[in-house]
Amino acid sequence: MFFLAMVWRNAWRHKLRSALTLVGLVVALLAFGLLLTVVDAWYQGVNASSDKRLVTRHSVSLVFPLPLNYLGKIRAIEGVRATTYENWFGGIYKEPKNFFPQFAVDARTFLQIYPEFRLSDAERDAFLRDRKGAIVGRKTAENYGLKVGDNITLKGTIFPGDWDFVLRGIYTGGRESTDESQFFFHWQYLDEVVRQRQGARRASLVGLYVSEVEDADDIARIAAAIDAQFANSPAETRSETEKAFQLGFVSMSEALVAAIRAVSYLVILIILAVMANTMAMTARERRAEYATLRALGFAPPFLATLIFAESLLLALLGGLLALGLTYPVAALFGQAVSKFIPHFVVSPQTSLLQLAAALAVGLLAALIPAWRAARVNIVAGLRAVA
């Protein structure tokens, strides 16, 4: 108890300096946690991927569609449990700034393969019955004040014209990582209108196929079998796991993600320098005290332990305060950017990294001051007292 009391008093001997150091720690660790959460949000689609889902797209680019008649051939491949298909729509809701992902899907098979999109039985039935019906995620519904039964008009960009829908359901995520910002409607409605407006040549085309396989360990063989099926055809395919497909999008902005990571660790290095300077000043000012303690018989390890304990105390206080602030600040930030980052949630791993970074800063900042305190010269130190 005597030792702990001494450490506490020493830590707050210079209240202003300690307070400013603590504030710096809290701000740095808070920024560190938020930056890591931004990186996690970037990988949301990857983390939400299923190891039993396989995505098949055009081998050249997603820009090129695939024929609808590929559906039966994919479903016939051994090991495929179910297959669905979808098109990116890219419409505008009222104003161009109102962005949320929109997909035309084969509703029945889509909901079967993606059980994490949860609807009530009544909403599901209403959506399946209504050709112009649509469903939307909870977050997008909250952002734009949408309610079941609302009439929604999207202005097409890829598919020109005004497209009218009736909102038949608001889905929630079955998992924390489920994207609740998306808008889904019937591919059949899209195909009918495209056929009327642009002719049969532009109809019966899909953006990609998603297949659910029976055994995740067999997914590589099934992917190869699908691509072999359409080799040397006018529309060759590329099949890959859902995770690999999502990683392909993330890789397009890999430099930005790497930069965010670099900045997050740079923040920690800066606060380490600040903390090390604080502890160095502390040790230098108390040189005479350490010499007196040595003269009284206290061993060098005791002096080093005093420095380490004081540094760790400040670092731990800063870490705990930062942890306590990270969740409410992240929640406020998440609300502000929910239209662009639908899933902004601090993970347990991020909290552990914040705490680990705080303790690492506390230990590293005390290394040199503790070493110098342990090696203090008794005679030289006592002369400073005189």
Query: What are the tens digits of pLDDT across the range 108-141?
Result: 999 999 999 999 999 999 999 999 999 999 989 9
For the chain, what are the domain ranges? 2-44+253-385, 60-235
Output b/e per residue, 285-302; b: 16+ Cβ within 10 A.
ebbbbbbbbbeeeeebee
Residue 67 has pLDDT above 90, yes or no: yes
Residue 174, Cα to own-chain centre: how many angstroms?
17
- In the three-class reduction of DSSP (H, G, I as helix; E, B as strand; rest coil), residue 201 is classed as helix
Residue 50 has pLDDT above 90, yes or no: no
**What is the reported pLDDT for 386?**
47
Between CA 324 and CA 328 the distance in angstroms is 8
Range scoring the smallest mean pLDDT among 200-209, 238-247, 285-294, 367-376 = 285-294
Between CA 63 and CA 207 the distance in angstroms is 8
Between CA 170 and CA 79 the distance in angstroms is 33
Amino acid present at 344: F
Between CA 17 and CA 282 the distance in angstroms is 10
| Cα-trace Rg, the chain | 30
pLDDT per residue over 276-300, tens digit each? 888 888 777 777 767 777 777 777 7
Exposure on the CB side of residue 320, measured as CA atoms within 13 A: 5
- Per-residue pLDDT, averaged over 271-279, amounts to 85
- Per-residue pLDDT, averaged over 28-54, amounts to 83
Range scoring the smallest mean pLDDT among 41-50, 328-337, 372-381 = 372-381
The model carries a pTM of 0.75
Token pair in block for residue 152 = 């929604």
Residue 117, Cα to own-chain centre: how many angstroms?
19
Per residue, what are the HEC states of 281-333?
A: HHHHHCHHHHHHHHHCCCCHHHHHHHHHHHHHHHHHHHHHHHHHHHHHHHHHH
Minimal CA–CA distance to 359: which of 301, 318, 325, 304?
318
**What is the reported pLDDT for 45?**
64
**What is the reported pLDDT for 5?**
77
Output b/e per residue, 159-187; b: 16+ Cβ within 10 A.
beeebebbbbbbbebeeebbbbbbbbbbb
